[in-house]
Structures are given as structure tokens and as C-alpha cells.
Structure 1
Amino acid sequence: MRPFRFGTVGSPLSTPKKPGGSVGAVYQIASLGLSALELGWVQAVRVTPETCAQISAAAKETGIALSVHAPYFINLNASDEEWPKSRQRLIDAAFYGFLAGATDIVFHPGSYFGESAAQVMGKVISRLQGCVEELQARGVRVTLRPETMGKSAMIGSLEDVLQMSHEVPQVQPCLDFAHLHARAGDGSMNSYDEWMRVLETYARALGEESLQRLHIHLSGIEYSTKGERNHLPIQESDFDVKALFSALHDRGCAGRILCESPNLETDALWMQETWDALFPMG
């Protein structure tokens, strides 16, 4: 057994039109030999409880682990006028994701709006705490995962997501390693030693056992000194996947690795094959 499940963020490009949708995506992931799917609800949460039940049933039938990528338009640092809309998007993604059988809800934390992390994190954590309390009261048992982001203007440094996760129950990071590489903007954050330091920092903040339930996004990435420009096919980028995988293996990590490259399932399968070639026994 390999320690990581591999899959895609969003439906595989090869998903047939029938049954299609998220249900078809679950079955297609299974037919490809992958084992995880992140439902790409990135524009809005437009799903009925009936459809959620069908998604959940398909995932149970196939053994596929589900997560949700919540709408992009969430900002924990939004103005007081805009915050209720952002809040509802996150709540809806978590509520309907839970109905669909998802265990983890990934979201973009938002923008600093020119302020420092120290100036905004109090508000961010208070609002996130409020969301978690509502979800707990409604019996929604999911892990909210603020994602590490690829631009320094965005909330989502490693330190940001670790602070949120340390201070708010039911919150753990989504580690997008391509974003961490791009956020640096200078080609760094792309070596075995650097990734080992990230994992050590993670374990110090959240405990050694947290390394057993990592939720990872991965792709190639184009960037400038200001950070991320766009995602690339993994083999068309400078990202050192083998160095990352070696660090994850040597640190004894486990969880999910979900591909976000333009070549979704092709690159997800390549990542899985690369892991198996590096570590034949898992």
C-alpha cells in the first residue's frame, strides 16, 4: 500500500458525458486507477441533496476519497459588507460537501489588501472560528483546509495556514507545494532540504501525527518575482517532483496528492507512477 492516494482537482478531462458530472467523475477516477477526487465547485455550489447522495454512493462503491474545492470567491479578510457572501460560500461548500461524502473542504483564504499578516490574522481567525462553530452545530464533520497560495499579496503563506490550523479546531492546511515554490518567486522552495524544513515546521506546529493526513495540491507552475502566473503540465516546469516525493517519503508522510495541472489525469497518473518507481514497496 502506498501512503498517498493520488487523484485530480476537478473532474478528469476524460470523464464521459454519461453519467457525467461529479458522479461520472468518481467512476472515471476509479477506472483510471486513481483513488482520490476533489470536486471542483470553484465557481459556485450548485448541487442538490439528491445529487450529493448519488456522489456519496458512487464514492462508497468505488472506494474513492472525496474532498471539495470551495468557490474561489471566499475572502476571510473581506469587508464587513462582503463577508456574509464569502461566509455563505464556505458554509455551503462544507455542508453540501459533507452530504456528498467529502471529508475535506479546500478554500483560498483571501487577500491581505495591502496590510500585513499580523494586521489581518486576528480577523481571519475569528471569522474562521465562527464558520467552524456553525458547522459543528449543524453536525457537519469536515476538515476545512485553507490553501497555501502562490502570490505574496494573498493570505496563504505556510505560516498563515499553520496559524489558522493551530488556533481553530477542525482546520488543517492544504499544502500546495507548487504555490509555495511560486510564492518565493526566485526559484527557491524547490529542493529536498527546503521541503524537509517545511515538513518539520508543519510537524512542530500541528504535531507529528498531522503528517499522516496531509492534503497536497501539485502541478507545474509558471511564476515571476511577484509569484504565480499560471499552472503548467508538471514535466514542462522546473518543479522538482522527485525531491518533494523523497522528502515526503523520508519524513514518513501520508495522505492525498491531488493534481491541478492542465493535464489533470495524465499528470496525476504520472505522479503516481513516479512515486511507485521511487518507492516500489509504497
Structure 2
Amino acid sequence: MAGLLFGTAGIPYSTPKHTTQNGIHRVAELGLDGMEIEFVRGVYMKAPDTNPVRILSDLLRIKLSAHAPYYLNFNAVEENKVKMSQHLLYQSAKMAHLCGAGSLVFHPGFYLTDSPSAAYESIRDNIRPVASRLQEEGFDITLRPEVSGKVTQFGDLKETMALCSEIPGLLPTIDFSHYHARTGKYNSYSEFSFMLSTMADYLGENAVLNMHIHVSGIDYSPRGEKQHLNLADSDFNYKELLLALRDRGCAGLVICESPNIEEDALLLKETYFSLA
């Protein structure tokens, strides 16, 4: 993958009839490069549904990723919730792979009453069997734990990088907007560059050549993320982020999660290619 590609989190709102295939068509019409299939409220596809999606995305050269259900928690107290999280991660990855997606984004869980270090161990140990099973069964898909926006959620930058360094088949989804909301900082060229260097320190320089990135406007409080906003309504410094990504030579897929997903995705792409 050379350079950055830009796409939408889900089917563009301007798509006449909201189906995955129509969304891929609309992404191509808009001049965007990718789309994240949203399994966030459930894995709505069956295996027979995936072949037309894969064929169409290949034909139109639209890069696909997918997002697992929001309600995974690999640090749940109840064993049945952990088992369900493992099942849903596996099913999401399987359907995403069959669609031709190269990455599956997921939220690993919450700290609950545990310390971050205890939560880390539980989350690592409960994700590892799923990653191993997918590799053993030949599913060529990267599991991508997401840097999270709330301080109650697992997903600090360094713990996300550490998790990926310990489990084969994992690479991060860096949501730069989330991390700005989580910390109240990390909104400048130097801070974005530091995040990229941290990623390379943990995972090697090749990791910045295979990135999955989320960007949006963001509203936040001392507890972190409150809601996504359009970029124009937020203090998120997307121009300096794009400059840092370009100067580092990053490659991968940038997914826009603003409420006006296709408009801000186009803004990001146009801004990136207009950088001096």
C-alpha cells in the first residue's frame, strides 16, 4: 500500500439506498478510496452475502476494512460475556475477510474495577486465542484494537501498542481524535509525530507503512470523549496531523468518523494532497 487512502466509516449518507454494495459504488463516485463496513451493532452479513461485496470492491479498487460490534469486553467479569466477545470478534473477522477487508477494528474493553495492568493481562489473554484461531484457519486479516477516547476504556496509546507487540496478527487503529479527547493534549504536529514514533518504537518502522487511522472532529470533557463532531465544529488540528503523517511517510487507510462522513473524508483527502 503506497501513501494514504481516505474513506468513510460506513455507507456514505448520500447513498440513495443504504446497502454495502451501494455504499461502495457511492464511495467510488465521490472520488474516495475506502470504506469501513460497520458491524458495530451486530454482524449482519452471512457468508453468501460477502462474495458480491468483495468482487465489487476489487472492481472499483475500493479498500475495505470493518469494525466489530461496540459491545465487546475482553475484561468482563462474567465468563459468558468474554466468550461472547471472542465469538463476535471471530465472526466479524471471518465476514470481513470474506468481504475482502484487510483490517478489523475493535474495542478491547473497559477497566471496570481493575487496575490498568490487571485489565491489560485479562484482555491480552482473552484476545490471544481468537487471533491464534484466525491464523490457524488461514484468515488473512489484521485485528486492530483501537486507541480509545474515554478514560474508563482500555485503549491508552502505549497499552494498545504493547498489546499489538505481544499478539501476532494485531496492529493498532490509531484514532488521533480519540487520543486528543482522552488526554486533552496531542493536538499538534510535534505530538502527532511523537505518537507515530511511539508506534514505530513498539512495532517497528514498517508499522507506519500499514496504518489504519480514524479521524473526526471531537467533543470532550475531563473524562474524555463525549461525541464526534464535524471537523469545522471541533478544535481537532487535522491539518497538522496530515502534515505529520506525510512527513513520516505513513501509508494506510484513513477513515473519517465525523457525522458528515463523506464531506469530511473529502476534506481530509483534499487537504492532504494540497499540502505544500
After the TM superposition, which segments of 4 or more aligned residues of structure 1 sit over 2 Å from their partners? none
Q: Cα deviations across residues 165-203 of structure 1 (Å, max 9, x unaligned)?
A: 10000100000000000001x3x1101111111111110
Q: Cα deviations across residues 105-142 of structure 1 (Å, max 9, x unaligned)?
A: 00011100032221121121111110011112222110
Question: Could you say which residue in structure 2 is the equivalent of 1:126?
Answer: 125
- Distance, in Å, in 1 between the alignment partners of 2:42 and 2:159 is 25
- Distance, in Å, in 2 between the alignment partners of 1:234 and 1:4 is 19
Report the RMSD for the aligned CA atoms in angstroms.
Answer: 1.2
Gap runs ≥5 in structure 1: none
Question: Could you say which residue in structure 1 is the equivalent of 2:3?
Answer: 3
Q: CA deviation at 1:81?
A: 2.6
3-state secondary structure, aligned to 1:135: helix
Q: Which of 200, 203, 223 is the equivalent residue of 2:197?
A: 200
- Say whether the 8 Å CA contact 2:135–2:169 is kept in structure 1: no
3-state secondary structure, aligned to 1:144: strand
Q: CA deviation at 1:2?
A: 7.3
Question: Could you say which residue in structure 2 is the equivalent of 1:224?
Answer: 221
- Say whether the 8 Å CA contact 1:41–1:68 is kept in structure 2: yes
3-state secondary structure, aligned to 1:54: helix
- Distance, in Å, in 1 between the alignment partners of 2:138 and 2:144 is 18
Q: CA deviation at 1:250?
A: 1.2
Q: Cα deviations across residues 235-265 of structure 1 (Å, max 9, x unaligned)?
A: 1100001111111111111111110000010
- Say whether the 8 Å CA contact 1:114–1:153 is kept in structure 2: no
Q: CA deviation at 1:276?
A: 1.2
Question: Could you say which residue in structure 1 is the equivalent of 2:212?
Answer: 215
Q: CA deviation at 1:43?
A: 0.3
Residue 266, structure 1, aligned to residue 263, structure 2: yes
- Say whether the 8 Å CA contact 2:20–2:37 is kept in structure 1: yes
Question: Could you say which residue in structure 2 is the equivalent of 1:243?
Answer: 240
3-state secondary structure, aligned to 2:274: helix
3-state secondary structure, aligned to 1:88: helix
Residue 28, structure 1, aligned to residue 26, structure 2: yes
3-state secondary structure, aligned to 1:216: strand
User: Share of identical aligned residues, percent?
Assistant: 39
- Distance, in Å, in 1 between the alignment partners of 2:44 and 2:152 is 29
3-state secondary structure, aligned to 1:148: coil
Question: Could you say which residue in structure 1 is the equivalent of 2:47?
Answer: 49
Q: Which of 21, 25, 36 is the equivalent residue of 1:38?
A: 36
The 3 A distance-change label for structure 1 pair 158 and 52 is same
- Say whether the 8 Å CA contact 1:39–1:67 is kept in structure 2: yes
- Distance, in Å, in 2 between the alignment partners of 1:94 and 1:144 is 8
3-state secondary structure, aligned to 1:278: coil
The 3 A distance-change label for structure 1 pair 103 and 2 is closer
Gap runs ≥5 in structure 2: none
- The 5-angstrom pairing of residues 73-112 of structure 1 reads 73-79=71-77, 80-112=79-111
State the one-letter code of the partner of 1:103.
Answer: G
Kindly tell me the number of residue pairs found equivalent between the two proteins: 275
